[in-house]
Structure 1
Amino acid sequence: MPDLLAQTLAMPGLWALIGTVFIAGVVYGFAGFGAALIFMPLASSVMSMEVAVAAFAVSALSSFVTVVPRAWGQVNRRGVAVMVVCATLSASLGLWILRVTDLTVLRWGVIGVTSATLLALVAGWRYATTPTLATRSAIGFATGFVGGATGLLGPVMVLFQLAGRDSVTTSRATSLVFLTVTSLLLLPLMAIQGLLTPPAVVLGLILLLPYGTGARLGARLFHPGLEKFYRTVAYGIIFLAILLGLPLWD
């Protein structure tokens, strides 16, 4: 274990990853989404997708302390529970795709999903109806599949949340609880498929503190009246992460 820790600390690009995951945590803390959208495009350019996905899932556990306790009382717990269960059920297929698919294809997949989500959010797409149980189930299944394959749990679910009519406080809290709980439940699935390797766990533990610190800071910055500002900043950071994560720069 000491040797593995030393190797991880000497990994090229580690400090850039630490800075990236801190920024991702800040955005996640105040906006309720965007952490993986920021982290994965950059992380996948310096390590395998399998390690990046597993390490980020480990680091996300800090959210149980930093942001979930306050958000828990602001969500529709039944609706969130349905989406979490469905996402967990479909994630295994996504993780299998992650394990057998070419890295370059997956990286372009990450860029594609991230870009499509960002465009939809910036365009301001909204739906007017109240989501049914079937709708929430479908969103959960889609989220788990995409999240397992690309490490991006947020896009489908966040688009669903931001396209609705919930207040920014409720939407943010729902995203925080869903993404954090689902990340936890993905860990045993990753272990079963051999993705939760010692290097990924060690890296995730190293990233846990900066991610948690960033999320705590972001949560303190959150104010419902500044919704437009928060979204604008998050969109800008996500766009920058997309550009920096393009395989074209390799």
Structure 2
Amino acid sequence: MIDPCLMGTALIAGLVYGFTGFGAALIFMPVALLVVDPVVAVAGFALAGLGAMATVVPQAWPQADKRAALTMLAAAVALEPVGVWVLRTTDPTALRWAVSAVVLGTLAALLSGWRYRQSPGLPAWLGVGAGVGFLGGSVGLNGPVLVLFQLGGPDAAARTRANAIVVLSLSTLALLPIMALQGVITRETVLLGLVLLPIYALGAYLGRRLFNPGRAGLYRGTAYLLIGAAGIMGLPIWG
């Protein structure tokens, strides 16, 4: 029996993902880690993430910066095997401290008005993509590096959201065979993923319908709130 709290959290995570283009794992993982093993949580949510492929990716693809998104995606896929290995072999408490420190530190920089002024190019895209892949494989949080990079730039809300959806959804899809090759996909993770998939897909569909490109301030504010909440909830002091 899947915990009802996990199902409700998956619905909310999908709703936020459809609206902002990120944030699903930030919401789901802290709750899931209170209920299931980290390996099960990461693998199960990766399976559930397939629900976004049909509900939000087709609409986001035409609006995305294809060159930037595909470059970041390639770098993410290249680093995902390393991240999964870390997930299997490293103390989860140490990882939670590291992720929270990065998330909260970067959020503080954004709230202080930090922006990068140069147009990002290949090195920046590769670095961000590598962070997406490593954190996605190791702790299931593939979004923070990408969204903080996107929010620090000059792109409009619609393109920022579209880039995030394309990179995060497709990197999650690529993560599944990598986890299978390292023996992380089990009967328990498949069951969890199959139960959560339609719930997450419904949430993502509803969130997509709510998105309004003209409300960039609400979009950015929601992003900041989610990042801060994730950084605080991820701290190991909560157990």
Query: Scaled by the length of structure 2, what TM-score is found?
Result: 0.92
Alignment of 1:37-52 (within 5 A): 37-52=26-41
Correspondence for 2:22: 33
State the SS of the aligned residue for 2:198: helix
Q: Which moved more, 1:176-185 or 1:205-214?
A: 205-214
| 1:45 and 1:247 in contact (8 A); partners too | no
Report SS of the residue matched to 2:214. helix
Q: Does 1:106 pair with 2:98?
A: no
2:58 counterpart residue number: 69
Give the CA deviation at 1:23: 1.1
Check 1:237–1:75 CA distance in 2 against 1; reply closer, same or farther (3 A cut): closer
Mapped pair 1:139 → 2:135: no
C-alpha spacing 1:177/1:234, structure 2 compared with 1 (3 Å): same
Say which SS state the counterpart of residue 187 (structure 1) adopts.
helix
Moved more, 132-141 or 28-37: 132-141
Q: Distance in 2 between matches of 1:178 and 1:148?
A: 14
Describe the superposition over 1:127-154 as per-residue Cα deviations: whole angstroms up to 9, x where unpaired.
1111112221122112211221111111
Aligned residue identity for 1:193: Q
Residue 3 of structure 1: aligned partner: none
| Structure 1 residues 136 and 246, CA gap change in structure 2 (3 angstroms) | closer
Residue aligning to 1:4: none
Quote the Cα distance in structure 2 between the aligned partners of 1:237 and 1:157: 14
| Distance in 2 (alpha carbons) for counterparts of 1:220 and 1:228 | 18
Among 212, 215, 230, which residue is 1:223 paired with?
212
Q: 8 Å contact 2:144–2:227 — kept in the other structure?
A: no
RMSD value, Cα: 1.9
Query: Aligned in 2, Cα 1:138/1:18: closer, same or farther, shift over 3 Å?
Result: same
CA contact (8 A) 1:109 1:150 kept: no
Q: Which amino acid aligns with 1:126?
A: R
SS in structure 1 at match of 2:63: coil
Contact 2:157-2:219 at 8 Å conserved across structures: no
Which of residues 5, 27, 31 in structure 2 aligns to 1:16? 5
In the alignment, residue 175 of structure 2 is paired with which amino acid?
L
The aligned amino acid for 1:190 is: M
CA distance in 2: counterparts of 1:211 and 1:122, whole angstroms: 30
Give yes or no for contact 2:151–2:220 (8 Å, CA) kept in 1: no
Work out whether 1:204 is the aligned partner of 2:218. Answer: no
Q: Which residue number corresponds to residue 164 of structure 2?
A: 175
**CA distance, structure 1, for counterparts of residue 146 and residue 234 of structure 2:** 22
Choose 198-207 or 138-147, whichever is displaced more.
138-147
Match of 2:148 in 1: 159
**How many residues are treated as equivalent by the alignment?**
239
Q: Which runs of 5+ in 2 are unaligned?
A: none
Aligned mates of 1:33, 1:212 — CA distance in 2: 14
Correspondences of 1:74-89 after superposition (within 5 Å): 74-89=63-78
Indicate the SS of the match to 2:49: helix
Maintained 8 Å contact 1:40/1:110: no
What percentage of residue pairs aligned between the two structures are identical?
Answer: 49
| Greater displacement, 166-175 / 132-141 | 132-141
Using a 3 Å threshold, how does the CA distance of structure 1 residues 219 and 178 change in structure 2: closer, same or farther?
same
1:45-94 residue CA offsets vs partner (Å, 9 max, x unmatched): 22111111111111111111110111110112122111111111111111
